[in-house]
């Protein structure tokens, strides 16, 4: 009989074999999910899987005429495995010749011919519009499946709903404004657009007539966009009745990306004289999001398929939902919509919502609250018990059993016992696990997922005013970042299209800003100004004054409004 050298060799061998079995199982599960997604995509577009099998060798494949030489189709080598874990392909690559120098004109011509100047991979599998998010380990929260769970979370849990509202209210109550684009006059007569803080905005000083015309044009464009966004979202129906949309509804639609990961509104236009104006920004619910098309062939069938697809440029969002009296599929091009994605990674247009990090704590807290409710219902008044006398009849036993199992608090509750019987309420004996501290812990973790830790300061034994202020400042910093993202997306989609249609491609694009998200009190700002003045800082220039007025929620300083100038 052979002896073991030590007591750990056998155990390590079992552990290694167990790890290999888990690796094989995980690899099979991942491959099965990918095969299922591919089969679903093939069925949707009406293709058979055999249509994708290569019947010729790679050397006989001929590229399309519109493809450049460096866009030859690649034949993937089979994935090999080690112990069930996938590894990189092992097929050797043929030697590649050194790239030849290319001129800017030739580079532009390749792009026009369909060559995509992208070398890297986004890493997100998109099969015929269906996104397979490899980073999501819980299939219940992947894609459209997660929308239903997030709906239950935000509608049925007070902690989740309150935390999301805390993230949205500062942006909803912010002062949204449209300011002219920063136009710098160049010697060639072209314009240069730059983004910067609202307080740094100023027109360049120019003594030429062209500079004055540029400044006036930028103000005209800004006034047009401002009037359309804040006063002109309205339309008249076929009966002559007017309908309007508030700007806060647009912001609320964009902020829904924090709930579901993605949000979208559709631009509906109307003709007003010689101008094209926005009629409304219609909300498109995440429950209707079906497929994400990165190939422009899905929008324009005249284009050849798979040529302009770089895997990460979104051209259309396909919806499936209800309208009028039927369900239907609708293809919404991205040049007619504005899509907001929360923390997008790669080409995952579903995004990662705030509710994703809340989910495990919400799941545990929901079950703990159910256990606590059952405990309160069954044990709040104690456990009823009837001790019958010796040799009870069957009827007495049945009556006693029915009574203790159906006991409820009532104004006429009473009990008549036979001779020798005794009734009492027995409490819980011994020490049991307390549920409320665990529930409180998961509530704190839900708030922490959104950096809203200050919401739990009054419900814990620790915490101070200074700690609450520091946590609030950090939370509002993240909130300001979200508001800036929304403003950036609207400016580079809706505002830019309106400007090009009405004023031409060379007109300056106004900037949408959300100021006063992190508003300070007058006393705090007074103390800051006093300290800066005592330190000799210059706080009377235009930029400093406008910055302080924005922090307090006031309008920017304008020379035209000064009386007696």
**Segment of 24-38, 188-202, 386-400 carrying the highest mean pLDDT:** 386-400
Q: What mean pLDDT do residues 356-384 have? A: 83
Q: Is the pLDDT of residue 195 over 70?
A: no
Residue 161 CA, chain-centre distance (Å), reads 16
Positive or negative: CA dihedral 317, 320, 323, 327: positive
CB count in 10 Å sphere of residue 241 = 8
Task: Give me the residue spans of the domains in the chain.
Answer: 122-379+434-519, 383-407+414-426, 521-565
Asked if residues 515 and 487 have their Cβ atoms less than 8 Å apart, the reply is no
Rounded Cα gap, residues 509 and 195, in angstroms: 10
Q: pLDDT of 88-140, one tens digit each?
A: 445 555 666 666 666 777 777 776 776 667 777 888 899 888 998 888 888 88
Q: Is the pLDDT of residue 265 over 90?
A: yes
Q: Is the pLDDT of residue 225 over 90?
A: yes
Which candidate, 388, 534, 426, 453, places its Cα nearest to that of 167?
Answer: 453
pLDDT at 565 (0 to 100): 42
The average confidence (pLDDT) of the chain is: 75
Q: pLDDT of 380-427, one tens digit each?
A: 666 777 888 888 888 888 888 887 777 766 666 677 777 777 777 776
Rounded Cα gap, residues 138 and 150, in angstroms: 13
For 140, the 3-state DSSP assignment is: helix
Asked if residues 353 and 260 have their Cβ atoms less than 8 Å apart, the reply is yes
**Segment of 193-207, 217-231, 297-311 carrying the highest mean pLDDT:** 217-231
Confidence of residue 487 (pLDDT cuts 50, 70, 90): very high
Q: What mean pLDDT do residues 422-436 have? A: 72
Lowest mean pLDDT across 233-247, 465-479, 508-522: 465-479
CB count in 10 Å sphere of residue 230 = 13
pLDDT at 448 (0 to 100): 87
Q: To the nearest 10°, the Cα dihedral for 473, 479, 481, 485?
A: -170
pLDDT at 494 (0 to 100): 95
Q: Distances in Å between the alpha carbon of 488 and those of 72, 183, 420, 482, 513? A: 37, 18, 82, 10, 8
Radius of gyration of the chain (CA): 33
Rounded Cα gap, residues 474 and 244, in angstroms: 36
Query: Which residue's structure tokens are 């983004």?
Result: 195
pLDDT at 553 (0 to 100): 59
Q: Is the pLDDT of residue 63 over 60?
A: no
Q: What mean pLDDT do residues 234-247 have? A: 89
> 305: which 2 tokens?
């398929």
Residue 214 CA, chain-centre distance (Å), reads 38
Of all residues in the chain, the percent with pLDDT exceeding 70 is 62
Which secondary structure element, helix H or strand E, spans residue 367, and what is its range? helix 354-379
Asked if residues 317 and 292 have their Cβ atoms less than 8 Å apart, the reply is yes
Rounded Cα gap, residues 132 and 61, in angstroms: 28
> 419: which 2 tokens?
């001779």
Rounded Cα gap, residues 182 and 193, in angstroms: 6
Angle at 422 between CA 420 and CA 427, to 5 degrees: 165
pLDDT at 14 (0 to 100): 63
Q: Describe the chain by its helix, strand, coil percentages, rounded to 5.
A: 45, 15, 40
pLDDT at 290 (0 to 100): 93
> 16: which 2 tokens?
């290694």
The neighbouring-strand residues paired with 384 are 425
Lowest mean pLDDT across 43-52, 65-74, 90-99, 151-160: 65-74
pLDDT at 316 (0 to 100): 94
Q: pLDDT of 491-522, one tens digit each?
A: 999 999 999 999 988 889 999 998 878 665 55
Rounded Cα gap, residues 263 and 283, in angstroms: 8
Q: pLDDT of 533-548, one tens digit each?
A: 777 776 666 766 776 6
Which candidate, 134, 160, 126, 381, places its Cα nearest to that of 260?
Answer: 160
Rounded Cα gap, residues 349 and 358, in angstroms: 20
DSSP secondary structure code for residue 327 in this structure: E
Query: Which residue's structure tokens are 């849990």?
Result: 157
């Amino acid at each position: 009989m052979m002896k073991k050298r030590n007591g750990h060799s056998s155990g390590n061998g079992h552990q290694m074999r167990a790890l290999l079995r888990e690796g094989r199982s995980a690899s099979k599960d991942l491959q099965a999910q990918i095969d299922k997604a591919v089969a679903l995509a093939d069925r949707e577009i009406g293709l058979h899987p055999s249509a994708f099998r290569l019947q010729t060798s790679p050397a006989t494949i001929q590229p399309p005429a519109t493809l450049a030489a460096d866009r030859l189709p690649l034949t993937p080598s089979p994935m090999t495995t080690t112990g069930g874990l996938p590894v990189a392909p092992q097929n050797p690559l043929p030697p590649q010749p050194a790239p030849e120098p290319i001129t800017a004109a030739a580079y532009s011509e390749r792009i026009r011919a369909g060559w995509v100047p992208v070398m890297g991979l986004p890493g997100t599998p998109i099969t015929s519009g269906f996104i397979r998010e490899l980073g999501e380990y819980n299939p219940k929260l992947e894609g459209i499946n997660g929308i239903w769970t997030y709906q239950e979370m935000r509608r049925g849990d007070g902690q989740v709903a309150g935390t999301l509202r805390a993230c949205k209210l500062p942006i909803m109550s912010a002062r949204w404004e449209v300011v002219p684009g920063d136009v710098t006059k160049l010697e060639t007569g072209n314009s240069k657009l730059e983004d910067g803080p609202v307080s740094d905005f100023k027109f360049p000083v120019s003594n030429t007539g062209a500079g004055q015309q540029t400044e006036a044009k930028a103000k005209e464009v800004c006034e047009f966009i401002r009037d359309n966004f804040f006063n002109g979202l309205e339309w008249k129906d076929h009966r002559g009745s007017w309908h309007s949309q508030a700007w806060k509804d647009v912001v609320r639609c964009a902020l829904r990306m924090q709930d579901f990961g993605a949000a979208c509104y559709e631009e509906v236009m109307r003709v007003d004289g010689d101008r094209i104006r926005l009629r409304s920004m219609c909300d498109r619910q995440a429950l209707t999001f079906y497929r994400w098309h990165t190939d422009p062939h899905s929008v324009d069938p005249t284009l050849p398929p798979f040529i302009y697809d770089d895997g990460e440029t979104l051209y259309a969002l396909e919806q499936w939902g209800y309208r009028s009296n039927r369900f239907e599929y609708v293809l919404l091009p991205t040049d007619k919509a504005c899509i907001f994605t929360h923390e997008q990674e790669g080409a995952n247009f579903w995004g990662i919502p705030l509710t994703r990090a809340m989910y495990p704590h919400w799941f545990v807290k929901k079950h703990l609250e159910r256990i606590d409710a059952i405990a309160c219902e069954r044990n709040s008044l104690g456990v009823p018990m009837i001790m019958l006398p010796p040799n009870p009849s069957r009827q007495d036993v049945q009556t006693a059993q029915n009574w203790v199992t159906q006991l409820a608090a009532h104004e006429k509750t009473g009990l008549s016992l036979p001779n020798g019987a005794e009734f009492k309420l027995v409490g819980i004996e011994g020490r049991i696990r307390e549920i409320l501290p665990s529930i409180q812990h998961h509530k704190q973790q839900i708030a922490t997922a959104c950096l809203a830790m200050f919401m739990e300061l009054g419900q814990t034994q620790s915490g101070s005013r200074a700690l609450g202020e520091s946590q609030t400042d950090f939370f509002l910093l993240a909130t300001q970042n979200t508001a800036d993202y929304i403003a950036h997306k609207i400016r580079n989609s809706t505002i830019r299209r309106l400007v090009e249609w009405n004023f031409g491609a060379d007109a300056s694009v106004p900037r949408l800003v959300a100021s006063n998200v992190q508003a300070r009190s007058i006393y705090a700002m007074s103390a800051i100004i006093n300290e800066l003045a005592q330190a000799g800082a210059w706080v009377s220039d235009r930029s400093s004054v406008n910055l302080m007025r924005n922090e307090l929620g006031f309008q920017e300083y304008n020379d035209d409004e000064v009386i007696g100038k």
